[in-house]
Amino acid sequence: MVHPDAAMMRRTSPLARLMQLLTGCLLIALAACGAAKPPPAEPAKVALWAISDSTGVHGWLLGTVHSLPPGTQWRRPAIDSAITGADRLVLEIGEPLNPQIAGEALGRLAFTPGLPPPSERVGPKFRSDLTRVYKDLSLNDGQFKDQESWAVALQIAAIGGLKQGMEPDNGVEPELRKVIGAKPVTGLETIDSQFGIFDALPPRAQTVLLEQVAHEAADNRDDDKDMLALWLRGDELGIAREAQTGFLADPELRAALLTRRNLAWADQINAMLKAGTRPFIAVGAAHVAGIDGLPRLLEARGWQVKRVY
């Protein structure tokens, strides 16, 4: 069986373009732009929102990409100014990613004795995709004995990341941790709670996730380049459209991985702001796009949320 190790968990994968913008350690194995080069150099317009009320600005909200091609320039003066004005950094996961801890958390939840082989769990039209991915990554069913489908999906993606050579150190969050300096860094979730979201998925939803990971891996498309371009130019509508495709087109997966988490985060952020803090909040860009994104949810809680250009 394949056990997550430090090398695997340090890297990310090119396989699921939406995972790139959706989450952090929950999907560390799936959040990447593959081996794509950065888009042609032009001024970045990454979306930033100011959160305010009648007394002024109380915080800022940034959508992130968790792993970037080396050399990607995404910061702009408005973002740096907001970081300077904040009194803390709020990420999806507060503590820096420890590969060993992440691997142990995955291992605690991943196994159920007596499961059929992964190739027998996916639908007939996806079996050829999984076979192709197995061949490309030198894997087989036996290496995933008794592992739940969500864990198989994450590990296939992580091993694909090893092949592509992507490093999460190139993502937005590590840079934010550096530039925030001595200010506190807190999280909206924990590593265990993020993996626990996957573990709580019913079998059908886990199967859909595995099928989509296998399909995108086998298809080997360049959609990640397009998604990165959308993020760099601050195209909220484009990101929202992409966030309704793939596995997020499945209502059960969308509710578990996006909608319910956004609602819980909006409550936490609302309480934080009312307590008088001035947070700079940075979460996966899919969480800040569309009608169920954090800007709209915070507006529903009485805050003014406006793009900063």
Q: What share of residues in the chain are helix, strand, coil (percent, to 5)? A: 55, 10, 35
Average confidence (pLDDT) over 48-59: 98
pLDDT of residue 28: 40
Q: Where are the domains of the chain?
A: 6-307
At 51, the pLDDT band (50, 70, 90 cuts) reads very high
* Tens digit of each residue's pLDDT (9 = 90 or more) over 67-98: 777 788 999 999 999 999 999 999 999 988 77
* Tens digit of each residue's pLDDT (9 = 90 or more) over 146-195: 999 999 988 887 787 667 655 656 789 999 999 999 999 999 999 899 89
Contact 25, 92 (CB under 8 A): yes
Average confidence (pLDDT) over 212-228: 75
pLDDT of residue 16: 35
Using CA atoms, how far apart are residues 59 and 46, in angstroms rounded to an integer? 17
**Which of 2-6, 199-203, 278-282, 288-292 is the least confident region?**
2-6
Instruction: Give me the chain's average pLDDT, please.
Output: 84
**Which of 13-17, 101-105, 162-166 is the least confident region?**
13-17
Contacts 24+ apart (CB under 8 A), 290-296: 290/236, 290/239, 290/240, 290/243, 290/244, 292/258, 292/259, 292/262, 293/236, 293/240, 293/262, 294/61, 294/262, 294/265, 294/266, 294/269, 295/49, 295/61
- Whole-model pTM: value is 0.84
Which of helix, strand or coil describes residue 217? helix
pLDDT of residue 279: 98
Going by C-alpha positions, the residue among 70, 75, 63, 76 that lies closest to residue 38 is 70
* Structural tokens at position 28: 């560390």
pLDDT of residue 24: 46
The rounded percent of the chain whose pLDDT value lies above 90 is 64
pLDDT of residue 17: 37
* Tens digit of each residue's pLDDT (9 = 90 or more) over 261-273: 999 999 999 999 9
Instruction: Judge whether residue 113 has pLDDT over 80.
Output: yes
Instruction: Judge whether residue 34 has pLDDT over 90.
Output: no
At 290, the pLDDT band (50, 70, 90 cuts) reads very high
Buried/exposed 79-90: b ≥16 CB within 10 Å, e otherwise? beebbeebebbb
Contact 231, 21 (CB under 8 A): yes
**Which of 35-44, 228-237, 239-248, 285-294 is the least confident region?**
35-44
Instruction: Judge whether residue 137 has pLDDT over 70.
Output: yes
At 30, the pLDDT band (50, 70, 90 cuts) reads very low
pLDDT higher at 269 or 35:
269
Using CA atoms, how far apart are residues 226 and 286, in angstroms rounded to an integer? 14
